[in-house]
Amino acid sequence: MCSALPVKGKSVPDIFRKFNHIKALHDSIVEEAGSDPLAVRIEEISAGARAKIRGRDCVLMGSNNYLGLTFDGDAIEAACAATQACGTGTTGSRAANGSYAGHQDLENVIAEFYGRDKAVLFTTGYQANVGFISAIAGKDDYILIDSESHASIYDGCNLSHATILHFRHNDAEDLAKRLRRLPEDACKLVITEGIFSMRGDRAPLKDIAAAAKQYGAYLMVDEAHSLGVLGANGRGLAEEQGVEDQVDFILGTFSKSVGTIGGFCVSNHPELDMIRLAARAYLFTASLPPSVVASAAQTLGRIQNEPGLRKALWENTDIIYDGLKTLGFDIGPDKSPVIGIYMPSLPEGLRAWNSLLENGVYVNLALPPATPEGVCLLRCSVSAGHTKAQLEAVLEAFAALYDELYPSAKKLAAE
Amino acid sequence: MEDIDDIVAFICEELSTQVEAAQDLGAETDMTADIAVDSVAVMDLVFALEEKFDISIPLNVLADIHKIGELAALVQRLAGERQERA
């Protein structure tokens, strides 16, 4: 535990003492799991969702690499060429150091991808949410967020000066009730997500858009996990549900299906460029390096032009989602490549995570406060890059895990 | 205007499922220091208060509230504002 430390001869409280309760919880997690699930070392990584962890070959079932494009040959070539031509980094923000041509070209690519007039790049998806939300909402405005929103949405809200309200998860009626209570002439921004990152469920976007529009609210959708995954052209939930014309702002990231890093906002609002002058997460951070910009532009083209990638992803999703359900696991209600498996308790979740890793399957361990309702989840993300043999091996490991977790169910089945 | 004692009683009843039965809850109870209500329970409590009093409680105001009595006063104010608008 952190305690008082002497500083220049005086005894003062340790500035780290505020983390004592986190440290105690972390220590207990490490002890229960037998290793630190939050500090896994990937010793080797290769195409096809394979990695070496603890000296063992593993299938990566927790990478968010939905389309399996991190080793795309053309993207790697484009990244190498951009590095040769423009160097390894921009060493500053676009406001200070200028925009490289690649930044502006990529903004045109992403705007065209979504069929929108304008796009603004950010250095990460987290910064896109934090930067956009904190800039767009002022002190007289209202932001209404889903109660299970991602941390970056909460953080953006906290940095804004707006009044923040939440509505019940995926409940458009509850949203409408809250909108009804607000002043008619106030600016209101409703925020939801395409696919929620922990349980893989989707927002009822048609109903949410209808409520937002009925009460004159702007609508923002974070399509971080749905870009490349949903919609005939991979534009996400708004495309899938046919409500793109009712979504004012789409936020997203290149760090999942696009296979690199970076964030963006697209919109038809004629003043979107004001975000460049107001969002501190845009103004005061270094811009994306040329290699990342080049690979993102390359990969977005593949996402747009190769629907077969999404077909492969959904075929694999069918295998894992249906397989886990058949085994008896308690999983999220919506089928999607993000699959949250409920664990009976935190200690059992830790042991289960470790047991899967010992059997060559890496999944994410998701713990409160990142999870809804304070539950412990094993989070899988399916990839188009998974082979059928890998998926079979994964389900075999989960079958063995089920017997470990629920021995009485195994006994009943045997009887 | 809603009666502050009624609001305090409602909050105590909602929280009673979250804490040890023997604990006395009242306006002076500090929800984090005294009874360690976690964030999920706070969320449930907020939803219940919003439903009961037909109000919306801003999340950014909640951060400064620790005692049950402070939360009750906030609910009373928001419910009063709603009645004025109606």
Q: How many CB atoms lie within 10 A of CB A173?
A: 12
Distance from CA of A405 to the nearest CA of B (A): 26
Distance (Å) of CA B51 to CA A178, A414, B5, B54 = 10, 48, 18, 5
Phi, psi of B9, deg, nearest 5: -65, -40
Residue A105 tokens read as: 């070209």
d(CA A298, CA A318): 28
Band of residue B16 on the pLDDT scale cut at 50, 70, 90:
confident
> How far is B80 from chain A, CA to nearest CA, in Å?
13
**Mean pLDDT throughout A309-332?**
97
Phi, psi for A88 (deg, rounded to 5): -85, -15
Q: What is the pLDDT of residue A193?
A: 98
Quick one: pLDDT at residue A189? 98
Q: For position A164, what pLDDT does the model report?
A: 97
CB contact under 8 A, A165 and B59: yes
The residue in chain B having the minimum alpha-carbon distance to the alpha carbon of residue A183 is B85
For A361, the 3-state DSSP assignment is: strand
Does the pLDDT at position A132 exceed 60? yes
Phi then psi dihedrals of residue A239, to 5 deg: -70, -45
Question: Hunting for tokens 């922990």 — which residue is that?
Answer: A198
pLDDT tens column, A91-122 = 999 999 999 999 999 999 999 999 999 999 99
Strands A263-267 and A249-253: antiparallel
Question: What tokens were used for A346?
Answer: 């935190």
Residue A241 pLDDT level (bands cut at 50, 70, 90): very high
Say how far apart CA A106 and CA A103 lie, in whole Å: 5
Indicate left, alpha or beta for A91 from its phi (over 0: left) and psi (-120 to 50: alpha).
left
**Contact (CB<8Å) A165/B56:** yes
pLDDT band for A44, please (50, 70, 90 cuts).
very high
Long-range contact set of residues B44-53: C-beta below 8 Å, sequence gap at least 24: B44/B14, B45/B11, B45/B14, B45/B15, B47/A168, B48/B10, B48/B14, B49/B10, B49/B11, B49/B14, B49/B75, B50/A178, B52/B10, B53/B2, B53/B7, B53/B78, B53/B79, B53/B82
Q: What are phi and psi of A127, to 5 degrees?
A: -70, -30
Comparing CA positions, the residue from A173, A231, A177, A179 lying closest to residue A202 is: A231
Closest-approach residue (CA) in chain A for B86:
A181
Distance to chain B for A158, nearest Cα, Å: 7
CB A378 within 8 A of CB A356: yes
Contact A181 B56 (CB under 8 A): yes
Report the pLDDT value the prediction gives residue B36, as an integer from 0 to 100: 73
Ranges assigned E (strand) in A18-175? 44-46, 50-53, 56-60, 118-122, 142-146, 163-167
- Cα(A336)–Cα(A254) distance, rounded to whole angstroms? 19
CA angle in degrees (0–180, nearest 5) for A387-A389-A393:
120
* List of residues 6+ apart from A55 with CB closer than 8 A: A43
B8 has pLDDT over 60: yes
List the single residue in B with minimal CA-CA distance to A179: B56
At residue A306, the pLDDT reads 95
Distance in angstroms (rounded) separating the CA atoms of residues A168 and A393: 38
Looking at this predicted complex, what is its ipTM?
0.86
Chain B partners within 8 Å of A181 (Cβ): 54-56, 82
Task: Please tell me whether the peptide bond between A369 and the residue prior to it is cis, using omega within 30 degrees of 0.
Answer: yes
Q: Which pLDDT value is given to residue B20?
A: 65
Mean pLDDT of B18-44: 78
- Nearest CA-CA distance, residue A92 and chain B, Å: 33
Residues from chain A contacting residue B50 (CB–CB below 8 Å): 178
Best mutation target, A133, A160, A164, to test chain B (most B CBs within 10 A): A164
The model's pTM is 0.93
Q: What is the pLDDT of residues A49-72, one digit of tens each?
A: 999 999 999 999 999 999 999 999
Measured over the CA atoms of residue A216, residue A218, residue A222 and residue A223, the dihedral's sign is positive
Biggest alpha carbon–alpha carbon distance for chain A: 72
State the number of CA atoms in the 13 A half-sphere of A211 facing the CB: 24
List CB contacts (< 8 A) between A367 and chain B. none
pLDDT in the model for residue A237: 98
Residues of A in contact with B82 (CB under 8 A): 181
**The pLDDT value given to residue A300:** 97
Assigned token pair, A31: 């002890």
For residues A28 and A21, the answer to whether their CB atoms sit within 8 Å is: no
The helix/strand/coil state of A207 is helix
Greater confidence, A128 or B83? A128
Instruction: Judge: A163–B40 Cβ closer than 8 Å, yes or no.
Output: no
B22 has a pLDDT exceeding 90 = no
- Encode B7-39: b = buried (16+ Cβ within 10 Å), e = exposed: bbbbbbebbeebbeeeeebebebebeebbebee
Mean pLDDT of chain A: 94
3-state secondary structure of A122: strand
Please tell me the distance in Å from A198's CA to the nearest CA on chain B. Answer: 16
Residues 8-67 of B with CB under 8 A from A: 38-40, 43, 47, 50, 54-60
Residue-level pLDDT at B40: 79
Integer Cα distance of A72 and A37 in angstroms: 29
Contact B43 A147 (CB under 8 A): yes
Answer yes or no: are the C-beta atoms of B50 and B57 closer than 8 Å: yes
Tokens 């990460």, residue?
Answer: A124
pLDDT of the residue at A7: 66
Disruptive mutation site among B59, B64, B78, B85 for chain A (greatest number of A CBs within 10 Å): B59
Ordered DSSP codes for A220-285: EEE-TTTTTTSSTTS--HHHHTT-GGG-SEEEEESSSTTSS--EEEEE--TTGGGHHHH-HHHHTS
Alpha-carbon gap: A163 to the closest alpha carbon of chain B (Å): 6
Q: What is the pLDDT confidence band of residue A5, given thresholds at 50, 70 and 90?
A: low
Q: What integer pLDDT is reported at residue A360 of this predicted model?
A: 96
Say which amino acid occupies A231.
Answer: G
Q: Which of A5-9, A135-139, A262-266, B28-32 has the lowest mean pLDDT?
A: A5-9
Range among A177-181, A182-186, A382-386 rated most confident: A382-386
Dihedrals φ, ψ of A199, to 5°?
-105, -5
Distance CA A193, CA A219 (A): 11
Say what the pLDDT of residue A299 is. 97
Instruction: Say which DSSP state A15 is in.
Output: G
For A222-240, what is the mean pLDDT?
98
Average of pLDDT values for A252-265? 98
| Chain A residues within 8 A of B38 when measuring between CB atoms | 374
Q: CA-nearest residue of chain B to A372?
A: B40
Q: Is the pLDDT of residue A226 over 80?
A: yes
Interface of A with B (CB under 8 A): 147, 157-158, 163-166, 168, 178, 181-182, 368-369, 373-374
**What pLDDT does A204 receive?**
98
Half-sphere exposure of A245 (CA within 13 A, CB side): 1
Judge: A163–B60 Cβ closer than 8 Å, yes or no: yes
**Strand ordering across the sheet containing A118-122:** A118-122, A263-267, A249-253, A218-222, A188-193, A142-146, A163-167
Percent of residues, chain A, with pLDDT higher than 70: 96
CA distance linking residue B33 with residue B12, whole number of Å: 15
Tell me the β-bridge partners of A189.
A143, A218
